[in-house]
Amino acid sequence: MWLTNVAIRRPLFMLMVICALLVIGLVSWTKLGVDLLPALDFPIVVVSTSYPGASPDAVDTLVTKPVEDAVASINDIDYIQSSSVEGVSTVIIFFTDKAPKDSSIDVERRVSAIRGALPTDAKDPTIAKYDPNAQPILQLSISGNRDLGQLQRLAEDKIQKRLEATDGVAQVSIYGGLLREIQVQVDQQKLQARGLSILQVNQALAGDNLNAPAGSLTQQGKDWTVRLDNQAQTPAELNSILVASTPNGPIFLRDVATVLDTYKKVSTVQRTNGSASLGASILKQSSANTVETADKIKKTIAKVQPELPSDVQMSISLDTSVFTRNSLSDVQRELTQAVLLTGLVLLVFLHTFRSTLIVLLAIPTSLIATLGVMYFLGLSLNMMSLMGLTLTVGILVDDSIVVLENIFRHLQMGEGPREAAVSGRSEIGFAAIAITLVDIVVFAPIAFMSGITGQYFRQFGLVVISATLFSLFVSFTLTPLLASRWLAPRSAAERGYRAGDHGEAKVAQPTRNPLTLFGRAWDRGYERLARGYGRVLRVAIGRRARWIVVAAGLLSFVGGIMLVSTGLLGTEFMPEADNGEMQVTIEMPAGTTLDVTNAAAQTVEQRLLALPEVDQVFSSVGVGGNGGFGSSRSRFASIFVQLKKKNQRVRTPTELSNVARTFGADIPGAVVKAASVGMFNYGGASVSVRIQGEDQKVLQSLAAQVGQLVRKVPGTVDVDDGGVTGDPELVVHIDREQAADLGLTPSQVASVLRTGLAGSTVSTFRPQGTTGWDVNVILNPDERARVEQVAQIPIVTPKGSTIQLGQVAQVASVSGPTQIDRRDRQRSVYVSASLAGSRTAGEVANDVQTGLDRIAVPAGYKISQGGEAQQQNESFGQIFQALGLSMLLMYMLMVALFESLVFPLMIMFSLPLAVVGAFGLLAITGNTLNMMSMIGMILLTGLVGKNAILLVDFTNTLRKRGLARNAALLQAGPTRLRPILMTTAALVLAMSPIALKLGEGSEWRAPMAVTVIGGLLTSTLLTLVLIPAIYTIMDDFQGLVAGAPALVRRAVGWRPARRPHVAEPELPRTPEHVPVPLGAD
């Protein structure tokens, strides 16, 4: 190999090349971003529209449907999902991967075109592309000995602006405070007495309290702008605004209304650890470093705190950077442990420090060089990329072990260090290139998977491919270079050995060196193992025994598959990690006021704070439910619970969630739900069944059946039947003929109703030096406190007469839906549930699906599973495609390298052998078959195939030298036994720290490591006997086609006639058994 020759002949040149790679990698290390997960780009656009005071049905009809119809014709839409709750419409457009990056512009254009068709009192729709990277990284709690209104102003003036100026911060939202407003409370009795309408009050305020430009003029070379400023500076000035001029004199605002400087109606309540407070949510920029941004924010907080009044305190209630920092630190520690454990394996097998040091230098060199590629590809240091680096340790050590072990063999055959380095590298060069390319084609499909799953694993695949290529480069350059300088050309006699009966060295001279004594004992044990393996191999390739071996291999594969089919090995989308967080949701009966929900939340909070594992509790009352992305709903409360560190508690978030569900048992009407918060699950439902159709009554009936079914499935808790319980609602039906006789239109009546009950923001009260606050017109509280008062609201007709609403309309009490969901413009109801106990999501989903198949679904309606089951099916489908493509590419590569269709088939037979060990160890350790364990299976595909390649390639090499088939197999097996055992042991030990689940988030990574360990153990044992057995069968098959036409012989890889055996400068008998020189260097 020319590259090896250059490295050995020009060592300084090659060292400088390698040093340059190291410098680039180390510099890149300081510039790489740090985050928990890779940067994601979801093709999702969200359209949110606020329609204050409107019922879910009105929101759905007047806002949601027009928006859906407007955006439905945009290209590359996967599906549209919407939710209509009281006062809020949310339409979510999910695009396909083919959609352009600026799809949100098309959505904005379509929505703007229909703005005139939406209700005039609805707020302007907001269109935003969902950015999963711009997530809150810190939640602050702001408290003090003053009312929440003063705290709100202080937070907006002094805290919010300073935090938003911090580098890396995208947005700071303050919530839970009191928003100031000028409330004009109209007395309808006084209005009625003067023959006025509440709409005239609106018009008077909007037309009087204004600040408007009037134009400009030029005089004597100077431009003057003209502005009308008639804005009130005090609430008393608003009282003097003229509402109407009558024959009895002018009527001012003070004559019919009371002006109050107060706060807006409280819709949410925030508390931290049971104390009232403000909440501040801090979002980072998409490209910002999570850990670095969090550190900068904390420095800003430390600077701002002394500037605040002494009673005002800021505390951090949630810091996601802590888990990110700890998780990445644990992965880096596992990476270091993997390298050190690999070195230990080398020391045990080779019992020489210099050889161990060579490999320990080769591994970090490849890893550090990979950091440079990560930087130039725009990758970051996250769980996926660092896990890729950790797993590649096994691949890296594989290359170095194979090369170094072969160089040792050539040294023992009497060659000089440089000659042994070149010839050892050259002899193994083809196999090394083959196994490296196998790793690349195995992981390439992962790097280019599509969809959201592909975005999660793309960095993982790219890192593995980059590290593998650098590993090949290092094994061609640095490893033989160091071996040629550091490994002494001493024979067995020079080291105090004499030849044994089987070519193994026997100790001739006494020594007290512990490493030497250990090495001699180890070699004696290995010699016995090699001889035993040779005997087993001789039997395994026998004419009859080989079929038994093949049958045993097939049975092991079937046994592994049966572990899944029989349910002994559960399935789920992603393993659950202990993030130290859980989410508790409180749901009260429909129509429950905020005060009642708040009292229930306080009870649950106190019980949560009494748990010894709980660190902090952050409550949001009036926020929750399934719709509107956490829309304001008075009957819901959401409680975020931060637990103590993992090593300071015994119970997991899942176990504590089971406890928290009991906290609402004595609260009338309360339903308390709880779930752990994970990296791929934010306290949401694990089971979700979607029912689609048009008739709401039919949907409710089907939802009730599905809900009953889900409740009966073992392992389900917190079952929600889709929100079919109705909110109490008053519906006003206008008598069109009677209204027309009076000259009234429905829109005029609706405006009076909305202003009187919900209020209308008609102007802005903006004293100088302030940003101003709203002026809201509404009826007196006493005149909108009872249901019967709705019909008594006065309306002034165009003819000047005053009537009551009840004269032209009927007010009926009904029960309306609390939430209306749609998918692809068709009404949908979702039945959801969380999991409890030991059952996995896959097992529960199978039972649910079995029950769903038995439900009689009317024509035009559809029932399907969503949630985690849908994610699992879609992701498993992609990963199976990637696995199949990996195996196909692996076969095609080996066909191209071996110039045969048959020899690669022998190697492919080794792949199923990993299934029984991987699946078996997953079941024994209580893990599941999930996305991470499937990635482990893909990794196994490359690792297991490499062992088979080593055996087949060396057997072919020996046969080309003239050895008979069985003789070649009997020599190739023991010769390649040592590197195969070394790589297997190194990988098993390297994966062990991950499999033990010791660090933060390790539960998420463990299934991958367990899969690799189990698969390697069984595949290594079976490969050593199965591959030689299959080799003999395939070789006999080739003999059967010896008389076939030349084209057929070439297709099956017919080998050329054997050349006469040429003697080689090898030690007597089986030189491959000669051990590495013993003793410390």
What pLDDT shows up at residue 725? 57
pLDDT band for position 275 (cuts 50, 70, 90): confident
pLDDT band for position 342 (cuts 50, 70, 90): confident
Q: Compute CA distances 570 → 462, 919, 1002, whole Å.
A: 29, 10, 19
pLDDT digits (tens, 9 = 90+) for 1001-1039: 678 888 988 999 999 888 888 888 888 988 888 888 777
Distance CA 604, CA 621 (A): 12
- Arithmetic mean of pLDDT, 322-334: 80
| Yes or no: domain 493-570+901-1081 corresponds to CATH 3.40.50.300 | no
230 alpha-carbon distance from chain centroid: 55
| Yes or no: domain 43-130 corresponds to CATH 3.30.450.20 | no
- Arithmetic mean of pLDDT, 500-520: 59
Write the DSSP string, 875-907: HHHHHHHHHHHHHHHHHHHHHHHHT-SSHHHHH
CATH of domain 180-210+227-263+728-817: 3.30.2090.10
Distance CA 245, CA 965 (A): 115
What pLDDT shows up at residue 511? 66
- Supply the mean pLDDT for the chain: 82
Residue 500 pLDDT > 80: no
Highest mean pLDDT among 442-451, 510-519, 912-921: 912-921
- Arithmetic mean of pLDDT, 803-818: 83
pLDDT band for position 1046 (cuts 50, 70, 90): low
pLDDT band for position 800 (cuts 50, 70, 90): confident
In sequence order, the β-bridge partners of residue 864 are 690
Q: Which two tokens stand for residue 834?
A: 């969380």
> What would you report as the CA-atom Rg of the chain, rounded to the nearest whole angstrom?
37
Q: Indicate the range of 431-435, 587-591, 931-935, 1052-1056 predicted with least confidence.
A: 1052-1056
pLDDT digits (tens, 9 = 90+) for 856-868: 889 989 998 887 7
pLDDT band for position 632 (cuts 50, 70, 90): low
Nearest one of 467, 345, 337, 463 to 404, comparing CA atoms: 345
Q: Do 1-31+351-490 and 493-570+901-1081 come out as alike in CATH topology?
A: yes
Residue, of 1077 and 719, whose pLDDT is higher: 719
What pLDDT shows up at residue 1062? 37
Q: Indicate the range of 116-130, 931-945, 995-1009, 1042-1056 predicted with least confidence.
A: 1042-1056
What pLDDT shows up at residue 192? 84
pLDDT band for position 46 (cuts 50, 70, 90): very high
Residue 510 pLDDT > 80: no
What pLDDT shows up at residue 1065? 36
- Arithmetic mean of pLDDT, 268-292: 84
What pLDDT shows up at residue 489? 56
Q: What angle do CA 932, 911, 881 make, to 5 degrees?
A: 50
pLDDT band for position 1072 (cuts 50, 70, 90): very low
Which CATH number applies to 1-31+351-490: 1.10.10.10, 2.60.120.590, 1.20.1640.10, 1.10.1760.20?
1.20.1640.10
What pLDDT shows up at residue 30? 86
Residue 813, exposed/middle/buried by CB under 10 A (0-12, 13-18, 19+)? Answer: exposed
Residue 166 pLDDT > 80: yes
Residue 101 pLDDT > 50: yes
**Cβ-count burial 954-971 (b if 16+ within 10 Å, e if not):** bbbbbbeeebebbebbbb
pLDDT digits (tens, 9 = 90+) for 731-782: 888 888 888 888 888 888 888 888 888 888 888 888 887 778 889 999 998 8
Percent of the chain past pLDDT 70, that is, above it, reads 91
User: So where are the chain's domains?
Assistant: 1-31+351-490, 43-130, 180-210+227-263+728-817, 493-570+901-1081
With beta carbons less than 8 A apart as the criterion, state whether 860 and 702 touch: no
Residue 625 pLDDT > 70: no
Highest mean pLDDT among 27-31, 567-571, 739-743, 978-982: 27-31
With beta carbons less than 8 A apart as the criterion, state whether 846 and 716 touch: no
Highest mean pLDDT among 164-168, 504-508, 685-689: 164-168
Q: Which two tokens stand for residue 122?
A: 């609805």
Percent of the chain past pLDDT 90, that is, above it, reads 15
With beta carbons less than 8 A apart as the criterion, state whether 760 and 202 touch: yes
What pLDDT shows up at residue 488? 64
pLDDT digits (tens, 9 = 90+) for 582-594: 889 998 888 888 9
What pLDDT shows up at residue 1063? 35
- Arithmetic mean of pLDDT, 831-844: 82
Extended beta strands in 780-900, E state = 794-796, 802-804, 809-817, 820-823, 826-835, 862-866
